[in-house]
Amino acid sequence: MVDKPMSNHRSRFPFSINKLIFWSLISLAVILFFFVGSPPSTATTTTSSSHSRRSLRGGPQWQTSVIRSSTPSNPKGLRVLVTGAAGFVGSHVSVALKRRGDGVVGVDNFNRYYDPSLKRSRADLLTREGVFVVEGDINDSSLLKSLFKLVKFTHVMHLAAQAGVRYAMKNPSSYIHSNIAGFVNLLETCKSVNPQPAIVWASSSSVYGLNSKVPFSEKDRTDQPASLYAATKKAGEEIAHTYNHIYGLSMTGLRFFTVYGPWGRPDMAYFFFTRDILKGKQIQIFEGAEHRSVARDFTYIDDIVKGCLGALDTAEKSTGSGGKKSGPAQLRIFNLGNTAPVPVGKLVSILEKLLKVHAKKKVVAMPRNGDVPFTHADISLAKKEIGYKPGTDLEKGLNKFVTWYLAYYSNESGKKDRLSSW
């Protein structure tokens, strides 16, 4: 009975209905492929590897990649989820972990805060090192849950954030999205899984804000942030305390001081000064009140990486399970700086020497846009507890940065070189 009208139907419209159904299904499949498979913020420049990363998400091949990447080659190795893995610090930390035998999976949303092609290049390098980077947002609970379902991560190295102090005046909500909502979403996932991972995450020296006591110690006040970025990092420290207190998550916050080096961030002064000096463009050097020079405790990336690994290796296990705490858990905060502040004018003169170009400089009063006049880290606590010992001075570190910069941005052959070296 049911079949009959259908066969009538078929005989009256022999080709058009079949064709219509066929083409509708094809169109639907194409639409689903592009819209469901695409994360919200993707770069305009995509490589073939990133295309495959997206199309495989959640499928069997994707799962195999996640499992393979997270499996340590050293039997005693950690299983680390690195957020912000395509970022400056995240890419360096991921490579260092993988090279010493830990299992690593990265997550990054490849947002457009700065040139996404640089993030793509870092991610391509990670792929070559055997680190799989999932393209996704830390606000995506189902993504995080599926990763934790596949892998019993022992640690999370949380570096994804909206960085930069001045950009907060242009796009404040991006700071709330990544540094507050994203962080809470990550912790919600971590507190619910079993076993709970230990979490090491990036706070910032910016939490010291208008503190004028030097050097900055972890015991100093941090209730006077000078930017929204700083306020979100300070909020992160309070949020970390809450999840440690209620759910027994082991939490270690690292206050990085102006990190620089190869594969760095184009929004940072040492990077855009290099670019502008080479272009013959005038650069602005800020000075503080009463013509005092602005100074930063510039810290070389390899030293920061050692600090991150030291924090991961000394992190105790979380004490909760199934969302319930069963005892007090570790809660730490460390400065990771270089303990040697350098005036920005000196930074420029080192760059002039390395680039062999005279910079066109203009000294201007520092605008009130979130920057602070100086930073200076007291690192005695990190030295004692995680064996942190920075060993790179600014001239040596900038030399490595400039060498990388010239190779990376020179020409097509430089492009090949940049992919074969870290």
Ligand X SMILES: NC(=O)c1ccc[n+]([C@@H]2O[C@H](COP(=O)([O-])OP(=O)(O)OC[C@H]3O[C@@H](n4cnc5c(N)ncnc54)[C@H](O)[C@@H]3O)[C@@H](O)[C@H]2O)c1
| CA separation for the pair 79, 84 (Å, rounded) | 16
Does residue 229 carry a catalytic annotation?
Answer: yes
Minimum CB distance to ligand X, residue 217 (Å): 17
DSSP state of 266: T
If the CB atoms of residues 178 and 318 are measured against ligand X, the closer one turns out to be 178
Minimum CB distance to ligand X, residue 76 (Å): 27
Minimum CB distance to ligand X, residue 108 (Å): 5
Is 254:332 a contact under the CB 8 Å cutoff? no
Task: Return residues touching ligand X (CB under 6 A).
Answer: 84, 86-90, 107-111, 119, 137-139, 159-163, 178, 182, 202, 204, 256, 258-259, 265
Question: 356 CB contacts (<8 Å, ≥6 apart)?
Answer: none
If the CB atoms of residues 109 and 250 are measured against ligand X, the closer one turns out to be 109
Which amino acid is present at 245?
Answer: H
| CA separation for the pair 30, 21 (Å, rounded) | 14
Q: Which residue is nearest to ligand X (CB)?
A: 87
Minimum CB distance to ligand X, residue 14 (Å): 52
| CA separation for the pair 410, 202 (Å, rounded) | 32
Question: 71 CB contacts (<8 Å, ≥6 apart)?
Answer: 79, 103
Minimum CB distance to ligand X, residue 85 (Å): 7
Which amino acid is present at 205?
Answer: S
If the CB atoms of residues 319 and 335 are measured against ligand X, the closer one turns out to be 335
If the CB atoms of residues 72 and 341 are measured against ligand X, the closer one turns out to be 341
β-bridge pairing 361-365 and 295-296 = unpaired
If the CB atoms of residues 109 and 154 are measured against ligand X, the closer one turns out to be 109
> 229, 243, 247, 270: which one is catalytic?
229
If the CB atoms of residues 160 and 329 are measured against ligand X, the closer one turns out to be 160
Q: What are phi and psi of 93, to 5 degrees?
A: -65, -40
If the CB atoms of residues 302 and 357 are measured against ligand X, the closer one turns out to be 302
Minimum CB distance to ligand X, residue 232 (Å): 9
Q: Of 355, 329, 351, 333, whose CA–CA distance to 342 is shortest?
A: 351
Minimum CB distance to ligand X, residue 154 (Å): 21
- For residue 199, the surrounding DSSP H or E stretch is strand 198-204
β-bridge pairing 342-343 and 295-296 = antiparallel
Active site (catalytic) residues: 229
